[in-house]
Copies of this chain bind each other. A is one copy, B any other.
Amino acid sequence: MIYLDGNSLGPLPKSVDSALSSMVTDQWGAHLIKGWNVDDWMGQPMRVGNMIGKLVGAPEGSITMGDTLSVKVYQALSAGVQMRPDRKVILSDSGNFPSDLYMAQGLIAQLDQGHELRVVEPDDVMDAITDEVAVVMITQVDYRSGAVHDMAAMTAKAQAAGAVMIWDLAHSAGAVPVDLAGCGCEFAVGCTYKYLNGGPGAPAFIYVRPYVIEDIKPALSGWLGHDAPFAFDLDYRPAMGIERMRVGTPPVLQLTALESALAVWDGVEMADVRAASVRLTELFISEVEARCPELTLFSPRDPAHRGSQVSFAHAEGYAVMQALIARDVIGDFRAPNLIRFGFTPLYIDDADVTGAVDVLADILDNRVWDDPKYMAKSRVT
């Protein structure tokens, strides 16, 4: 198998099975309820958050873990809107992952306070940042094209216009260098099952700039975000710092898999990962363009504007991807016509790239995709 879908679900790190088995047997099985203390399950969301912080330029104690990315988007959006009560526009772009837009729509309908979700084309976001905008919510790396927004420039523009900046780092964390502290954004969120290899359903992360956290009244005011969860007060009082963004009981099994998966990043420099990623994507594009003339590059050609994935358009992209998968070259399809390939230098090398293009060229040259068994659509691709 040549796995070019680590941008959708990272593979199983070697350490995870035994780490999980040990947690299940030696912690849950042996310590039962005492695991919350003796195995520090309660501290795991902060401990794992700090591991991710090192990969995205966040200071210690500014990231916590839990829930799903959609829920973390909701927390950030709700807080952002609350920070700008006189403004009614949430600005995003059509390249944002749909769930982020859906969560905004749900929040707006629920608040019923006249907010508007304004969705512009990715290239038009900068110009659309006006003094009407309460919150700018953007996914740094476009899930379809891999196009990268300039975090520093956009954050500066948003803040100059008086808006709050939320970055979704789903396709950034572990893929491109990110400097959260340096860019000065108020919020960032991300998932951990892509480039961070935390496994299906791995918990999300949320970063809040330390400067603003104490002013946030969490919409999802769960007990583990309480200042004293085990006092069982009847009234909510937010915890100091990022812990107030915790909600319910942390998913210890998923966090254990993730914590084990993150250990592979010890001693890895994101600059080195990025350099290798650029080399791989450049090689892939040049090979595909030389050998697959039916495909049209959909990703930015300039690697400085591209994340760690490459998409090509093909009218029968779905069938082409199914034919690739049948030959054990795994990428994915994104509607309406994109075949998408992720390049993850921790386990993909030049030989994988050229090997994948060999198969792709053969599928296109011989119209292998033009077969009913590849044309049929299934729900998950």
Residues of A within 8 A of B (CB): 1, 3, 5, 8-9, 11-12, 16-17, 20-21, 24-25, 28-29, 32-37, 41-42, 66-71, 74, 78, 82, 94, 97-99, 101-103, 105-107, 109-113, 119, 191, 193, 199-204, 217-224, 226, 230-236, 247-255, 257, 325, 330, 332, 334-335, 378-381
Known: A68-B247, A201-B254. A335 touches B230 (CB 8 A): yes
* Cα separation A112 to B234 with both chains bound (whole Å): 20
B residues in contact with A218, CB < 8 Å: 106
B residues in contact with A199, CB < 8 Å: 24, 28, 252-253
Known: A20-B24, A193-B249. A33 touches B330 (CB 8 A): yes
In the assembled complex, 10 residue pairs joining A and B whose CB atoms fall closer than 8 Å, in A order, are A9-B28, A20-B253, A41-B201, A68-B249, A103-B220, A109-B219, A199-B252, A232-B334, A253-B253, A253-B257
B residues in contact with A33, CB < 8 Å: 5, 8-9, 330, 332
- Whether the Cβ atoms of B221 and A103 lie closer than 8 Å is yes
Cβ-neighbour of A32 out of B5, B102, B112 (below 8 A): B5
Q: Distance in Å from the Cβ of A300 to the closest Cβ of chain B?
A: 20
B residues in contact with A71, CB < 8 Å: 67, 71, 220, 222, 247-248
* Residue in chain B with minimal CB distance to A3: B32
* Cα separation A378 to B37 with both chains bound (whole Å): 9
- Whether the Cβ atoms of A257 and B24 lie closer than 8 Å is yes
B residues in contact with A332, CB < 8 Å: 33
- Whether the Cβ atoms of B222 and A68 lie closer than 8 Å is yes
B residues in contact with A101, CB < 8 Å: 234-236
Known: A111-B111, A253-B200. A68 touches B248 (CB 8 A): yes
Q: Distance in Å from the Cβ of A381 to the closest Cβ of chain B?
A: 7
Q: Distance in Å from the Cβ of A376 to the closest Cβ of chain B?
A: 13
B residues in contact with A68, CB < 8 Å: 66-67, 222, 247-249
* Cα separation A102 to B99 with both chains bound (whole Å): 26
Q: Distance in Å from the Cβ of A21 to the closest Cβ of chain B?
A: 6
Extra A-B contacts (12), CB below 8 Å, given A32-B330, A199-B253: A12-B28, A12-B32, A28-B199, A36-B380, A42-B379, A98-B234, A102-B226, A103-B222, A109-B219, A200-B253, A203-B251, A253-B253
* Cα separation A32 to B221 with both chains bound (whole Å): 35
B residues in contact with A381, CB < 8 Å: 230
Known: A236-B105, A236-B106, A249-B68. A230 touches B380 (CB 8 A): yes
- Whether the Cβ atoms of A231 and B330 lie closer than 8 Å is no
- Whether the Cβ atoms of A70 and B11 lie closer than 8 Å is no
Q: Distance in Å from the Cβ of A154 to the closest Cβ of chain B?
A: 20
B residues in contact with A25, CB < 8 Å: 12, 17
Q: Distance in Å from the Cβ of A329 to the closest Cβ of chain B?
A: 12
Cβ-neighbour of A335 out of B107, B112, B223, B231 (below 8 A): B231
* Residue in chain B with minimal CB distance to A219: B110
Known: A37-B380, A99-B223, A380-B42. A255 touches B201 (CB 8 A): yes
* Cα separation A109 to B216 with both chains bound (whole Å): 12
Cβ-neighbour of A201 out of B9, B107, B251 (below 8 A): B251
B residues in contact with A98, CB < 8 Å: 223, 226, 232-234
B residues in contact with A204, CB < 8 Å: 248
Known: A17-B21, A20-B21, A101-B234. A252 touches B222 (CB 8 A): no
